[in-house]
Amino acid sequence: MAPLSELVGDLIRAANRVENLSEADRVRLLGRAYVTILRAREQIGDEAERYRQSSINLISATGLVRRLSEQDVKALLLDAAKMIRTIKIVLDAKHAE
């Protein structure tokens, strides 16, 4: 898995240029975010329940990318970046214990 901060950067950059992303790029990025969130949830353990609905929303949206507006895709990319950044903070704190 790529470093979480690298993925957050990729998601934010993509959101800022969403109009230039192909459908395949949109699906790939949202899919990467979803897989990363699932794997991180496993590492977090019991505290991960709050990320469940958001990750379900991401995977659902991945299948509907061609129907989503650029603004919707941008919002999903930014939400995923925020979620992964939060997960990174939780994981860093957990490893520091």
Predicted model pTM: 0.81
pLDDT 10s digits, 40-66:
877 777 655 555 556 556 656 666 777
pLDDT at 52: 55
Which tokens hold the place of 13? 């950059």
pLDDT at 38 over 70: yes
Residue 63, Cβ density class (10 Å: 0-12 exposed, 13-18 middle, ≥19 buried): exposed
d(CA 21, CA 67): 14
Which among 28, 31, 26 is positioned nearest to 71, based on CA atoms?
26
